[in-house]
Amino acid sequence: MMDNLKYYSEKLESAILSLDKNEAQKIFEDAFNLGTPILIAGELVSKTLKKVGDSWEKGNLALSQVYMSGIICEELIDKILPPQSSDRISQPKMAIGVFEDYHLLGKRIVYSTLRASGFELTDLGGGLSVETLVDVVVKENIKILLLSVLMLPSALRIKELKKKLSGIDVKVIVGGAPFRFDEKLWKEIEADGYGKDSSDAITIVTQLMEEMK
């Protein structure tokens, strides 16, 4: 599986960097033999975009190439991920969003994975501020808040969000690049949990629901 994933990831990287959307879609379709669409979306896209990002960091690619890679993958994910399961899992109120920035892909994958697995949750979108989140949590009575955070300064500001939410019965679960770089960071910023990918999100949410019963 991992060898095959590496093979498809290399092919996908070369297709997206040459802006060949049709070829990228064909690679996605071929890769489906390896697992479920969600697994492919999470693993293949995550790994490939991480490689693209690393090359950009080393100065080997232009930001526009990173940008277009993101756009192409976003379109492909839209096409392949199931919109929702008909069999919703009853649960405390849950929402997901991108804290402060607009790196939307990871959130999109976690959202679709949870919905496809039967969980009901609200998509709050991107660019969410501390104030907006506190407002939504209170007004909508959100019990589980899943936040995708891609920029380090934003990750550090989760601590401020947690302070403003103190006394309110809500669990804040985080995920995204800064937490993948430093696996201790989520504890330092006082989040209630951290998931490295969408399957972690399912495990965490299932566990929290058990605890909240």
Residues that bind ligand B12 (CB under 6 A): 42, 45-46, 49-50, 52-53, 57, 63, 66-67, 70, 74, 101-107, 109-110, 146-148, 150-152, 173-177, 180, 195, 197-198, 200-201
Sign of CA pseudo-dihedral 125, 129, 133, 139? negative
Closest approach of Cβ 185 to ligand B12, in Å? Answer: 11
What does the alpha-carbon distance between residue 30 and residue 74 come to, in Å, rounded to a whole number? 18
Render the burial of 51-72: b for 16+ CB within 10 Å, e for the rest.
ebeeebeeeebeeebbebbbeb
Residue among 86 and 133 whose Cβ is closer to ligand B12: 133
Compute the least distance from the CB of residue 21 to ligand B12, in Å: 15
Name the minimum Å distance from CB 178 to ligand B12: 6
CB of 12 to ligand B12, least distance (A): 12
Nearer to ligand B12 by Cβ, of 86 and 210: the residue is 210
Helix, strand, or coil (residue 209):
helix
Using the structure block, give the residue that is written with the tokens 């679709």. Answer: 112
Whole-angstrom CA distances from 61 to 17, 69, 120, 147, 206 are 9, 11, 39, 29, 40
Cβ–Cβ < 8 Å for 15, 24: yes
Residue number, 101 or 120, with CB nearest to ligand B12:
101
Whose Cβ is closer to ligand B12: residue 73's or residue 86's?
A: 73
Provide the minimum distance between the beta carbon of 164 and ligand B12 in the complex, in angstroms, as a whole number.
Answer: 19
Closer Cβ to ligand B12, 30 or 97, answer by number: 97
Give CA–CA dist 63/40, Å, rounded.
Answer: 25
- Beta carbons within 10 angstroms of residue 19's beta carbon: 13
Q: Report, in Å, the least distance between residue 90 CB and ligand B12.
A: 21
Give 108's contacts (C-beta < 8 A, 6+ positions apart).
Answer: 74, 77, 81
Report the SS3 class of residue 125: coil
Query: Would you say 134 or 152 has its CB closer to ligand B12?
Result: 152
